[in-house]
Chain A
Amino acid sequence: MRVFVRPQRAGRLLATGIPILVAALLVPSGTAFAGLLGPDVGASPNAASIRQLYYIIFALACLLFFGVAGLLVYMLVKFRARKGAVAEQIHGNNRLEVGWTVGAALLLVVISVVTLIKLPGIYNPPNSSAAGLPLTDANVLTSTGAREKLPPNRRALAIEVTGQLYAWRFTYEDGDGNNLNNVYAYEQMVVPTNTTVLLRIKSLDVAHSWWIPELGGKHDAVPGYTNFTWMKVTKPGTYLGQCAELCGRNHASMTARVRAIPPDEYQAWYNGQKERIREADRLAAAERKAQAGQQTAAATQQ
């Protein structure tokens, strides 16, 4: 009888100890060790939902791991060879077989259901908040692909993300049908906070993968295809990421930054960029005119 006491006590210790241990390890979230057990606190609803889903699966996984590993250790200790011990010649047990088959299936049903509940918040973009960038009729989007999801009010900021060896280019779509005068940037994407931003992800050369961990998951940039995702940054700040699909020797240096700023600052930045493009266009037009004038002058001289 005494043999049974010890494992039971050990089991009780595990049952109380593990949740405490897990909780203790969860405390430093938000600090430098935020990524120790799970993804860092996201700054976009999709990243936040993924994190919640991750931790639900993590909790079930801990139970499963410590349960089965504990059972294994118990078996190894309890049934180690001793003098006079004779192994029982058991060939199996159909009830147990059915039991763990159904048990495993049930666990997966639970995970599937949780995933299906969490999925819309990750997959479907929400509307922009009132505190976000005021989106006018110019921001009403039409879906550019069968797989592109739009927010319910169809209003969002659309940015084309183009991967190329070894940089990311961001082109701000303005809906005027002319993409030569669009604001663009390399390396750093500037976005307004609280505003739904749709990303249309493309590649110019090989496959890349767009990933800013705190703003949602990875989406590959595959040449010949357009991939879609969205983000809605809730906190101003700079979020780091990098290409996550091997693309060549400098894959490691293909980094990206998203700088989220309040909508009014964003509008000022955007207008400034737009003005600079207009100014550059004007200068270029003047230059072309001057060159054309020189050419006609040269032609008349001949």
Chain B
Amino acid sequence: MATEQIAAPLPRIAPVPEIVAHDVRPEQRGWISWLTTTDHKRIGIMYLVASFGFFIVGGIEALLIRLQLAQADNTLLSPQVFNALFTMHGSTMVFLFMMPLAAGLGNYLIPLMIGARDMAFPRLNALSFWLFIAGGTVFYGSLLFSPPECGWTCYAPMSETAFSPTNGVDAWIFLIHLTGIGSAIGAINFIVTVANMRAPGMGWGRLPLFVWTMLTIAVLLAISLPVVATGVTLLLTDRHFGTHFYDPSNGGSPILFQHLFWFFGHPEVYILVLPAFGIISEVLPVFARKPIFGYKAIAASTLAIAFIGSLVWAHHMFATPSPYFVLMFFMLGSYLVAVPTGVKIFNWVFTLWRGSIEFRVPLLFAAGFLVSFLNGGITGIFVATFPVDWQLHDTYFVVAHFHYVLVGGALMGFFAGIYYWFPKFTGRMLSEGLGKISFWLMLVGIWVTFLIQHSAGLSGMPRRIYEYPDINNLELYNLISTIGSFILALGILVTIVNIMRSLRAGTVAGPDPWKANTLEWFTQSPPPVNNFDVIPRVRSVEPMKDIRREIERQSREREPVGVGARADA
């Protein structure tokens, strides 16, 4: 029908415009179009690229830290530079890499996965992104005067003007404020989009698991960000407007800062790792060629992790002067988080059961995620036990624990996602060969770097020290860790090369190179501005599988008349 209409000769009458449009702006082109865009896909790409830029900067900071610690009593860096480096590294990786990377993936993928044509509030979406850029700029602007030296936690009273008189702490406060407002707006946008703009037929029980996790993150952000914003605002007024919220000599409480920070800081850990949970839940079934095992259990355990995870923040404060009851409550609460986490891990492992597993790069990263995150989760039981944590807290054991969760877990998951969705973002495939090299280098790098850090911590090495004496083999442990960090960096570099190469010369992907399950693969790669010309009705968690099956059925039915049809053509 459609082709007939187009083919018909156009009537030779000049069209009479019914609406006279004044001031129609020509479509923006070039870099201006990126600055002014409200398209969720372009904003998503900008988030991904900018956060990856910050990732490289934060990674270089990490390598400098590892170089300084490679030898005992090293004098490569001064304590001032060292403190600034780990402050920048931690804050960058949390606020300028992982959070915006998740926002980028969410921005790009949520509307596509739920069959929507954009986010609910496209302009707010752009505002979120530019606030994130502003936060990063202000924070890195401090390099021009005096970068903060207070760690990513910036505990008061050390961050008060009496002990940190330079403006670095203020730059850190504005980083939290600006990226925090951006994330809070983004969170509201995600919640509204998912609640209202799902494709017909996509009930809550058919929402892709990645969207479930992003929705959960959005709720966590909306709950926890205002609290940390309050915390750092009080610090700001303490520093510049004469208040004494954290000053014990005037009735303030340094512990208050820690509570306000960790009330956000602990859910934040889940905010960082939940996107990876979502990615793994999408990637595993596609490459095992079977449905996710226990969809409802995984979705429910995501919510359970978020709920319990919001109530265990003070396990970061086991060494502070705290009553016995508080220690017990937060220990047992932290144990509880392990139950839904365990449920998830078993469901992922059983998704592979009796599958037909294709060892493509996203699957490899997903498997790497599983084994590394498993280790990070298990060491979590050690540090959740408060008497044991009294030995492990603030040592390299804890550094190893959360790097297993955030690098072995979240980063591996993100890389699975990048390799999985790159064809959708760009229309081109990433190289499998380079991807495999990158995966093995990263996996080996992560384990070499971080496994031995447990031993450094158990041998008495606290975190955040710029030098250490060579006792209890600390020098050996640290040297191993430094070597590992460079292997990891090499692995990441290979992926960067892979991306650069594929952008120009990658194999053309087509709309659905993986034979995947979710709606983003229904449209072209990269998707057009309006995403979908037709939005299909969703009948299961795996709409693309239904669509492929339907097409197969129809083509089978047509087979007997196939010869005749060809004769017609």
Contacts and interface: CB of A to CB of B under 8 A. Distances in A.
Interface stretch (A74-82, A132-140, A271-279): A74-82
Interface stretch (A6-14, A57-65, A178-186, A288-296): A57-65
Nearest to A86: B356
Interface in B337-392: 338-339, 342-343, 345-347, 349-350, 352-359, 367, 370-371, 374-375, 378-379, 381-382, 385, 387-391
B199 to A, nearest CB: 21
A172 interface: no
B278 interface: no
B509 interface: no
Interface residues of B, number: 86
A53 B472 contact: no
A147 B323 CA distance: 6
Given A89-B291, A104-B339, A108-B335, A252 B367 contact: no
A58 B467 CA distance: 29
A243 B291 CA distance: 51
Interface string A24-49: 00000000111111111000000101
Given A32-B472, A115-B385, A90 B354 contact: yes
A196 interface: no
B339 A68 contact: no
Contacts of A217: 319, 387, 389-391, 393
B471 interface: yes
A50 interface: yes
A206 B158 contact: yes
Contacts of A50: 387-388, 390-391
Contacts of B382: 54, 57-58, 61
Nearest to A245: B394
Contact of B255 (A68, A87, A89, A222): A222
B346 A100 contact: yes
Contacts of B455: 35-37
Contact of B458 (A36, A81, A108, A252): A36
B460 A213 contact: yes
A207 to B, nearest CB: 6
A244 B254 contact: no
A103 B291 CA distance: 24
Contact of B320 (A49, A57, A118, A227): A227
Contacts of B353: 75, 79, 90
A223 B255 CA distance: 9
B348 to A, nearest CB: 9
A39 B458 CA distance: 5
Interface stretch (A91-99, A152-160, A258-266): A91-99
B548 to A, nearest CB: 14
Given A75-B349, A81-B356, A249-B83, A57 B393 contact: no
Given A65-B378, A147-B323, A249-B83, A87 B288 contact: yes
Nearest to A212: B460
Nearest to B374: A68
B387 A122 contact: yes
Contacts of B354: 79, 87-88, 90
Interface in B296-335: 296-297, 319-324, 331-332, 335
A251 interface: yes
A252 B460 contact: no
B161 interface: no
Contacts of B342: 100-101, 103-104
B100 to A, nearest CB: 26
B357 A79 contact: yes
B357 A76 contact: yes
Contacts of B155: 206-207, 245-246
Contacts of A49: 387
Contact of A91 (B83, B150, B293, B390): B293
Interface string A102-127: 01110010011001001100110000
Contacts of A119: 387
A226 interface: yes
A100 B343 contact: yes
A70 to B, nearest CB: 10
B413 interface: no
A240 interface: yes
A248 interface: yes
A112 B332 contact: yes
A267 B55 CA distance: 58
Given A96-B346, A223-B248, A61 B338 contact: no
Contacts of A122: 387, 390
Interface residues of A, number: 87
Contacts of B456: 35
B450 to A, nearest CB: 14
Contacts of A104: 338-339, 342-343
Interface string B245-282: 00011001111000000000000000000000000000
Nearest to A46: B387
A302 B365 CA distance: 92
B466 interface: yes
B473 interface: yes
Given A111-B381, A118-B387, A65 B375 contact: yes
A223 B394 contact: no
B371 A72 contact: yes
A85 interface: yes
B291 A91 contact: yes
Contact of A249 (B79, B291, B395): B79
A100 B347 CA distance: 9
Contact of B294 (A32, A92, A248, A249): A92
B237 interface: no
Contacts of A80: 356-357, 359
A242 interface: yes
Contacts of B339: 101, 104-105, 108
Interface in B135-159: 149-151, 155, 157-158
A218 B319 contact: yes
A69 interface: yes
B388 A218 contact: no
Contacts of A33: 473
Interface in B544-566: none
B295 interface: yes
Given A90-B290, A243-B462, A220 B320 contact: yes
Contacts of A232: none
Contacts of B319: 209, 217-220, 244-245
A216 interface: yes
A96 B347 CA distance: 9
Given A222-B320, A246-B464, A209 B387 contact: no
A269 interface: no
B462 A211 contact: yes
28 contacts: A34-B459, A39-B391, A40-B458, A54-B382, A54-B388, A64-B378, A72-B370, A79-B288, A79-B352, A79-B356, A86-B356, A87-B290, A91-B295, A92-B295, A97-B297, A101-B343, A104-B343, A111-B381, A205-B163, A213-B460, A217-B319, A217-B391, A217-B393, A219-B319, A224-B252, A247-B158, A248-B158, A252-B79
What are the 7 tightest A-B residue pairs by CB atom distance, in nearest-first order? A217-B390, A224-B248, A35-B459, A104-B342, A252-B465, A87-B289, A92-B294
Given A40-B472, A53-B388, A123-B324, 8 more contacts: A36-B459, A40-B459, A49-B387, A105-B339, A108-B339, A213-B391, A224-B254, A242-B465
